Structure 1
Amino acid sequence: MYAFDIERPSTVADAVKLLSDSVESQPLGGGQTLIPTLKQRLASPERLVSLGGIDEIRGICQDDAGRICIGGATTHAEVAAGAGAFPALAGLAGNIGDPAVRNRGTIGGSLANNDPSACYPAAVLGAGATVVTNTREIAADDYFQGMFTTALDEGEIITEVKFPVPERAAYMKFEQPASRFALVGVFVAKTADGVRVAVTGASEEGVFRWAEAEAALNGDFSASALEGMSPGADGMISDLHGSSEYRAHLVGVMTRRAVAAA
């Protein structure tokens, strides 16, 4: 590890100020992605700005619209324990990584990084959540913009994520056993406005909505409505864990399982 400075602001305003001055700085959530990145010399900021001590962006509540509102610095373990009004989300958080990862990693850090195999992006996109930052609110459909790419501007901080609670929902993950990242993960949510299906772990472009499955499920919300369906293999990730065709097949399998569970 190379030498760097670390700051621990206690307010969002102080964190934004540190991130916007002349020193090359990077925000630090739980560090589950950033620290390994620094160790591999894939990033080398002069200063890390830790968000873990900012109480105003930590915790879980329910707003007047019935949405589950989760602070950006809330850990996976806290989401698993405190999002009981949205069981699919709590279950997703409780199966991220291992206990060490769940007690350090944060929802804001995961969404800001937007790893193509992370679980939270599927929940946010599948539920049609809203990502709140220190300057604005961003709809899920506008937030994710490709592998490791989001709508966040330089120095912008995720302060909260607002999840509408669907009528039915479930998340199914076929995990890579060493990392417990999703080889393919599918989040299905049924609301009064229709069905949303979000897929993580499969595409070279990161999390995406599977429109054909949504159309079929809007007509018949049952696993049988998806029988024989899978997305095309073009653009799917192909690596030592599975070919693009294998991942495309898994998307169909995990979507049917998620619908059955929902």
Structure 2
Amino acid sequence: MWLVDSHCHLDMLKLSATRSGEATGLSGVLDTARQRGVGHFLCINVNPWQISHLRDISKPFDDVSLTLGLHPLHEPEQPVSTEQLIEWGAAADIVALGETGLDYYYGAEQQALQKDYFQRHLDAALVLNKPVVVHTRDAREDTLALLKPFCEKGGQGVIHCFTEDLDFARQVIGMGLYVSFSGIVTFHSADALREVAALVPLDRLLVETDSPYLAPVPHRGKQNEPGYVRDVAEFIAKLRGIDAEFLAQQTTENFFRLFPLALRQSAATSRPLA
């Protein structure tokens, strides 16, 4: 089995509290994930002013790729312009723009600012010809309205940690986007989301952990780790009545189709893992 964790925050893991067998630290966490069949990790940036830190911690690992972006709920040290996103996002080690998007659940009073920053990321992504990683919560109509012209101009991307309904999924897939499911799909309260996960076209499906958050069943209550993406994949495979190996292969192919720069970075080390 060869899987990709398409969305993880490696810099947010509490490594002192995380033990992976006898190994500790980020190396141990990633080794444990590799032993579970995870062959690549997309480490998500939420503050472009801190991208150097992500570079530092990921440098030892050929199977970790980076994004660059400003989370809609994160306030940067300084404003970030479209031009800065283009300049910084042009770096060879940046495979996508994001995490970006809209979150009105916590940030309703900042809707105008969030839309402005989301648009800056979309504009930069078009200039750079790189995909976007999109966060959306309680912002359905504005998210769709901003994504539509972006996709019509050839933009690519993924709705990460998908929690919307089937109609929303069909609309973004119709625009050419991908959807990614996290451990939420395994939660006992997520019946409606499972209905969506059962019907999303396989060629538009990704899996993720969003670690250190949202640990899937049977790891609820623990810090989430990239290795738990296998639990997400196996759960969705069972839900759809298909072989887990097949789902792993399909989601991995989807990931590298959407993030081709990650494929180049991983070419020397990518291989199926037991």
TM range (shorter): under 0.3
Q: Which has the larger radius of gyration?
A: 1
The structure richer in strand per residue is: 1
Higher relative contact order (CA 8 A, sep 6+): 2
**TM-score (norm: length of structure 1):** 0.26
